[in-house]
A and B are shown apart, each in its own frame.
Chain A
Amino acid sequence: MAWFKKHQYTIIKNVSKPPAIQAGPEGAKWESCPNCKELILQETLIKNLRVCHHCAYHMRLSADERIQVLVDAGAFEPMFMDIRPANPLGFPGYGDKLSGDASAREAIVTGVGKLGGMETAMGVMEFGFMGGSMGTVVGERVARTFEYAAEKSLPVLMVTSSGGARMQEGIFSLMQMAKTSAAVAGYRRACRRPYVSLLCDPTTGGTTASFAMLGDVLIGESGALIGFAGPRVIEQTIRQKLPAGFQRAEFLLEHGFLDMVLPRKDVRPTLIKIFSWL
């Protein structure tokens, strides 16, 4: 029976570089897979939701790409985007990063989107902005999303991709872990709707150790790195090489921390099932 089929694990090497784009003949664009280095026609890559059809490597998505992949066409309404970053510690060099367009979006896009016609409060993290780090803006937007969902009795989806707390905001960003977790608690008290957390590559540090791990259902995307301390920190601390597959979504599934690991194409239909059933 297909319901109980064992997951096929794909071996994924450590990758962080964005794919290189090359122009081919007749204007066709090719990208090389950061994992297996094979060239893929850009059209094919987009059709495959930016998953390499050679090695099944799931490339990282921007918040906009993620919303496009998950949410019903044209059915996303951003909210709380007027919350803007500040430099509470006066951290050197940080202020410069907070100017420009990217800083308006910050490391998370929050709002209400429709999934299979069902209204869902959601937050999608933007790894491209300072490594998706959680500062006061991320914390506040996440908290408000949960409060809004509680008030309207909507289900919540959080899509995480984050290096953890934002060092440049120091202790203020640490406190966002408490703030967002308390927001989840408030949501749980206020309504009987599900909170689903989709953990994408990479989800580490304070983000994992707060709202990302607190979903009623936790879904890991295939091959995603998920952990508290990043692999480099662990290796330098214990002075040992980490085993292959350590901290990948499949590793967490085996160790009881994820409800399921899904390839990208299965995420949307599964979310629709969960939200329509619960």
Chain B
Amino acid sequence: MPFYYDFEQPIESLDEDVEKLKQQQAAGQDVRERLDKLEARLLEKKREVYANLTSWQRVQLARHPMRPGALQILPHLLDDFLELHGDRQFRDDPAVVTGLGRLGGKTLLVAAQAKGKGTQETLRRNFGMAHPEGYRKALRIFETASRLGCPILTIVDTPGAYPGLAAEERGQAEAIARNLLEMSDLGAPILTVIISEGGSGGALGLAVADRIYMLENAIYSVISPEGCAAILWKDAARAPEAAGALKLTADELLKMGLIDGIIPEPLGGAHRDVIQSANEIRRTLELALADVLQAPVDELCRRRRKRFRTIGT
């Protein structure tokens, strides 16, 4: 079942009409002219609706129930993939998927936050909220990359690190802090793509990188708009207002110089065409990879540290 937000209502009814006409066409009726006209109107309407999205509407698109996650994108993004499991300390965290990926003849070490699709899978992957062992698994992979001289690709998609009892017992904060420390000094190029939600420290734990990209409708923030509104204004219902105030959209983050680029999505969002979305990511990554691989590793590390050193006043 397709899913539409309120602001997408005009598109929903047009989508339905187009679908009906397509069925009639399939049944042998000549509706070509009407279909062409309607599709043109749909395109126009889409351009109108998606041209000026508010921050809150971007938040909604980033959380769209049909939005592709890392597990949907990676098979189209990479030529081949071999999953590696486990933090070698406590548990294999399904909220973070790591492994060896192939991209245009190069081997990348990949760490991707995975929300999963469907109830069972989503529960198993804990809605993409990693436990400490998820961050430790990623770090272990980063260290292997650095030892073997392979570039790293991280895919960020999480509401945040998991705020649970067991996560605290095993040192959630320590695990994230360790990743920030090690990544800032890691001897391998690091590329990050934030595909939907970049939730606070849970996202940053995989995002201390040489190049950071966001999909057009992704968000990256210190806290969810709901959380921010609840804390500051004691009213989670004011989340849309908070979304605007937090400046969490890709274009605002690019303006502030916190990310390196925006990867375009198909009109209406990444879920409208997963393969096209993956191709766009791939195009960006191939260029970025060629670029970072030119610099000596020491120089990369120095620039990476400087990059984060100079954020803020």
Contact = CB atoms under 8 A, between A and B. Distances in A.
Nearest to B84: A259
A96 interface: no
Q: In the complex, which range does the number of interface residues on chain A fall in?
A: 20 to 34
Nearest to B108: A277
Contact of A260 (B85, B93, B102, B137): B85
B108 to A, nearest CB: 10
A194 B89 contact: no
Interface string A172-203: 00000000000000001000111000000000
B86 A258 contact: yes
B75 A3 contact: yes
Contact of B91 (A3, A216, A255): A255
A256 to B, nearest CB: 4
Contacts of A260: 82-85
B90 interface: yes
B121 to A, nearest CB: 10
A213 B93 CA distance: 19
Contact of B100 (A218, A254, A255, A274): A274
A253 interface: yes
A193 B92 CA distance: 25
A273 interface: yes
Interface in A17-68: none
A260 B81 CA distance: 13
A267 interface: no
Interface string B88-107: 11111100010010100001
Interface centre among B84, B93, B137 (most CB of A within 10 A): B84
B86 A255 contact: yes
A255 B71 CA distance: 22
A192 B147 contact: yes
A64 B149 CA distance: 34
Nearest to A261: B85
Nearest to A259: B84
B147 A188 contact: yes
A35 to B, nearest CB: 25
A1 B75 CA distance: 7
Contacts of B90: 255-256
A273 B82 contact: yes
A217 interface: yes
Interface centre among A193, A254, A257, A259 (most CB of B within 10 A): A259
Interface residues of B, number: 28
Nearest to B102: A277
Contacts of A258: 85-86
A133 B37 CA distance: 78
A278 interface: yes
Contacts of A4: 71, 83, 97
Contacts of A14: none
A4 B114 CA distance: 11
Contacts of A3: 74-75, 81, 83
A270 interface: yes
A171 to B, nearest CB: 28
A257 B89 CA distance: 7
Given A270-B82, A277-B100, A256 B133 contact: yes
A193 B148 contact: yes
Interface string A58-87: 000000000000000000000000000000
Interface in A78-125: none
B87 interface: yes
B92 A255 contact: yes
B150 interface: yes
Given A218-B88, A256-B90, A260-B83, 19 more contacts: A3-B75, A3-B81, A192-B148, A194-B148, A253-B86, A253-B92, A254-B92, A255-B92, A256-B91, A257-B86, A259-B86, A260-B84, A260-B85, A270-B82, A273-B80, A273-B100, A277-B102, A278-B148, A278-B150
Interface of A: 1, 3-4, 188, 192-194, 213, 216-218, 253-260, 270, 273-274, 277-278
28 contacts: A3-B74, A3-B75, A3-B81, A3-B83, A4-B83, A192-B147, A192-B149, A194-B148, A216-B144, A216-B147, A216-B148, A218-B88, A253-B86, A253-B92, A255-B86, A256-B86, A256-B90, A256-B91, A256-B92, A257-B88, A259-B86, A260-B85, A273-B82, A273-B100, A274-B82, A278-B100, A278-B107, A278-B148
Top 4 A-B pairs, shortest CB-CB distance: A256-B86, A259-B84, A277-B107, A256-B87
